[in-house]
Amino acid sequence: MNNLRIYTVNYPLAYMAERIGGEHASVIFPAPGDVDPAFWQPEPEDILAYQRADLILLNGAGYANWLARASLPTAGMVDTSVAYSDRLIGVSANVRHKHGPEGDHSHGDVAFTTWLDPDLAAMQAQAIHQAMAQARPELAAEYNEAYDSLISDLEAWDKAAAEAFAQLTQVQLIFSHPVYQYLQRKYRLTGQTLMWEPDEPISLADIGALADAADTGAPGRRLVIWEAEPLAANRDALQALGYESVVFNPLANRPESGDYLTGMAANIDRLNKVRNGKSNEQEQ
């Protein structure tokens, strides 16, 4: 029997499917590595490939707006957010901006980086596991074992993240981009959110927005959390103003090296460096 042919709309779902399916699944995540998959616009040949898949794994929460305009077979579509639809987070503002090759876009009305909460990620994995086991019941035992291993790894990540964030309770947090809502809720992180890009120079207007967002009169350390390594000039400018910087990569796209869990481990390692006063070391 041929492998299950599985297409996904982001990398976290692809990773989960790869872990569960192992050698019995062919998992394809076709978005280029230099775009945010949430705003990627597939070519006609990409959509045709999705149409031919056995399973199409969706993130839900309004993720990948191209889906509303594409004709895809409903029989193979798996919305991995169904089980926690009542836990989705609405966003108060529909702000448009530009970043990367995908250009101008809006973050919409619902926060969609659900996989940053390991509890929700585990529910997404469960939906994937169930769909795969239903499609290939003869492989259920192997899928079950791989799924259990994945859940164990997600639980370990959750524990490590909780310990890391617990060390930052006295640090004032500023989130550079509105992608951390589920992470904030999961670990009870308070902080204001800006609309900055790591590869764009900070402007005077940005500095003004930072001053408005931060409690500049509060004692203690102040930390800006970035999606990716910011420009060195951005780090330096913030440091001169009394702000440290740290990268917490949401991992929506496939990393250049490693995988989803090693990427999350790297995020946690960088958070732990904050505790040790090394947050302003630039990533190599």
Over 50: is that where the pLDDT of 257 sits? yes
Contacts of 249 (CB under 8 A, 6+ apart): 227, 228, 255, 263, 266, 267
CATH class assigned to 161-275: alpha beta
What is the arithmetic mean of pLDDT over 215-241?
90
Its CATH architecture, for the domain 4-159, is 3-Layer(aba) Sandwich (3.40)
Residue pLDDT, tens place only, 77-110: 999 999 999 999 998 754 434 444 444 445 569 9
Q: Give the chain's end-to-end CA distance (angstroms, integer).
A: 44
Minimal CA–CA distance to 214: which of 239, 246, 243, 185?
243
Residue 104 has a pLDDT of 45
Residue pLDDT, tens place only, 269-282: 999 998 877 665 56
Give me the residue spans of the domains in the chain.
4-159, 161-275
Residue 75 has a pLDDT of 93
Q: Are 107 and 95 in contact (CB under 8 A)?
A: yes
pTM for this predicted structure: 0.91
Distance CA 178, CA 91 (A): 9
| Fold: same for 4-159 and 161-275 | yes
Distance CA 30, CA 47 (A): 10
Residue 103 has a pLDDT of 46
- Mean model confidence pLDDT for the chain: 92
